[in-house]
Structure formats: structure tokens, C-alpha cells
Structure 1
Amino acid sequence: MKINQSNIKLKFLLIGIFFIQTQLGFSQESKNSILYKTIMAKDSLLFDIGFNTCDIKQFENLFSDELEFYHDKDGFSNKADFLKSFKNGLCGSQETYRSRRELVAGSTEIYPLYKKGVLYAAIQIGIHQFYETTATKGEPLLKKNEKLVGKAKFTHLWILENNEWKLKRALSYDHSAVNSKQ
């Protein structure tokens, strides 16, 4: 049986081209790109303002009506369920309890999604940490009482709906407790 060397070379060349195209097609956005800065601005609105200050309006504005939120400890929520749970849970007693999310510096990666060369969505992955502040009996909430309590990974699917970036899918996973003396 004779092996055709030119066919083998052609197959390796095609595999190499496919591999390079795949890597270029799914490359991470540069931190200086407009897309990266846009998604990071949305992340800041969602967490620095929405989550950290219990501003439900931020979630209402940034969530797609078709939001699906998957949490490894709390299960699945749609937009209405998430908003209700957030309002009555983490933000239920702001005088005695606060939670704060902080993005781990350098952990965010953003990947564009295209259909026929047109950007329609972006995937954001990263790691965030969570802090809690609780008031001691008879005292107000004090920043000095804040403690690092947990860490988790997240994956967000941001889509363009009517030329606005909306969070359509959110996965929050690999939650772990963190013991801290901060």
C-alpha cells in the first residue's frame, strides 16, 4: 500500500489553518478595545452600583427580559425571581447587613460573538470576591467591620438588544468560603 505524501502534507496544512482560524476567531478582547471597555462599564453598573448599593433599577435596566441566572448554591432564577430575591434577601435589611462584590483584578476575559461578521454578543468570564458587613447589636454598620467571606467564578452572556447591551445569561459557580481577618 502506497502512502501519498502530498495528501498527508495537505491534510496537515488544512488542520494547521483550521487551528489558527479557530484561535483567531475565539480570541480574548484586548483590554483597550471598545468592546472590553463597554462590557466592563456594564459590569461596574451591575455590581458597583446595582449589587453594592442595592440599586434594583440597575438590574432592571441591564437584565434582558429573558434573563436566566444559574447559581451553584441557590439554583435557577429568571429576571422576576432574581429581582424579588435580591430585594428581599441581600438587600432586605440594609441597616444591619450589607454585601459587597469586588472583581478580582486581572481576572476578566471577554470574548466577542459574531454572526456573519456582525457582533451580536459577548462572553465575560472572571472571578469575584464577596464581603459582608454586619452591625453589632445597637451599633450602626461600620466599614471597619467588613469581612471577606467568599469567592466565586462567573460567566456572563451579554447580548445586543436594540443596540443596548443586556445580560441574558449569568452563571455563578465555584463558590467557596474565605476566612479573613480584614
Structure 2
Amino acid sequence: MASAFLATSAFAADDDAALTRTVSALDTQVFDAYNRCDMEKFSTFFAPDVEFYHDKGGVTKDRQTLVDTTRRNICHKLRRELVAGTLEIYPIKDYGAIEEGVHRFCELDTGKCDGIAKFLMIWQNKGGTWQLTRIVSYAHRPIPQ
């Protein structure tokens, strides 16, 4: 019985590592598009009925509004950086994954990174196509100097 448990545990660890690589790569891709203001590519990462909850900006409940708001408020103004060592990925059985971490925002004109926040994103995997269905960005605060 112990050997079956070990085999199952090793398989689960391999699955978790693969999931972490997949979602980490998706995070890099979505925010590369965000930072480059490639709204066409950026929009492909979101389900049509995505819900985005932002503690300072309110709630957005569809992809087009999310893209339009990002274009208007972020493009050519801010850059998002993932804070190293904060990314955590958890599987959601028969659905996808939870991604959480901390990110900071830097002004493009000055290069100054003065805002930081926590985030939680829900990724759905439909036949190998991953899209964000829910996003929560919260605890926005200045970076202590």
C-alpha cells in the first residue's frame, strides 16, 4: 500500500510541476502583451464573461470592457512586474488553476515602481485552451521607500 501511495504522490508532484510551468508561462504571456499594449493578444487570455474585481477601480464583467479600460488607463503609462518568489499555483479539479502572487507597477516615463498589490486569477482549461475567468487585484498600496 505504501508503494502505491508513493507512486500516486510522485505523479501528483509531476502534475503540479507541469501545471506550475504552464500557468507561470501564461502569466508571462498575458503580462507581456499588457506591458507592450498588444491589446489584440491581451484579449485572447480572457473568457468573454471574465469578471475582474479591483479594490480601487471596481468591478468589470466582460472582456471588451476589461481590454478597453486597460488600453485607456495602462497602455504606455505603466508596466507590471511579478514580484519574484511570490507566484503560487494550485489546481482546480476538472477546471483549471488558481494563480496568486504579488505584482508591482512601474511608471514608464520615470521607471519608478511605486505601487504594489496582491492578485488572484482563476484559469479555465478547455481542451488545452487556457483563459482567465476571474481576476481579483487587491491590497494596492505604495511601495515603502
Same fold, judged at TM 0.5 (above): yes
| 2:43 is the alignment partner of 1:60 | yes
- After TM superposition, give the deviation of residue 179 of structure 1 in Å: 5.4
> Taking every aligned residue pair, what percent have the same amino acid on both sides?
36
* 103, 108, 132: which one aligns with 2:87: 108
3-state SS of paired residue (2:104): strand
TM-score (norm 2): 0.84
After TM superposition, the score normalised by the length of structure 1 is: 0.67
* Counterpart for residue 126 of structure 1: 101
- CA–CA distance in 1 between the matches of 2:42 and 2:126? 15
Q: Can you list the C-alpha shifts for 1:111-148, whole angstroms capped at 9, x where unaligned? A: 00114xxxx210001001110022xxxxxxxxxx3101
**RMSD of the alignment, in Å?**
2.2
Aligned amino acid, residue 85 of structure 1: T
Q: How many residues align?
A: 134
List alignment gaps of at least 5 residues for structure 2. 1-8
- The equivalent residue for 1:12 is none
Moved more, 100-109 or 80-89: 80-89
Counterparts of 1:162 and 1:64, CA distance in 2? 14
Is the CA contact 1:71–1:172 (under 8 Å) kept in the aligned structure 2? yes
Aligned position for 1:41:
25
- Which whole-Å CA distance do the structure 2 matches of 1:68 and 1:46 have between them? 16
1:123-177 residue CA offsets vs partner (Å, 9 max, x unmatched): 001001110022xxxxxxxxxx310110000000000123211111000000001
Which blocks of at least 5 consecutive residues in structure 1 are unaligned? Answer: 1-23, 135-144
Q: Secondary structure at the match of 2:67?
A: helix
> Could you tell me which residue of structure 1 aligns to residue 118 of structure 2?
153
| Aligned counterparts of 1:53 and 1:85: Cα–Cα separation in 2 | 15
User: What is residue 7 of structure 1 aligned with on the other side?
Assistant: none
Q: Would you identify which runs of 4 or more consecutive aligned residues in structure 1 move more than 4 Å?
A: none
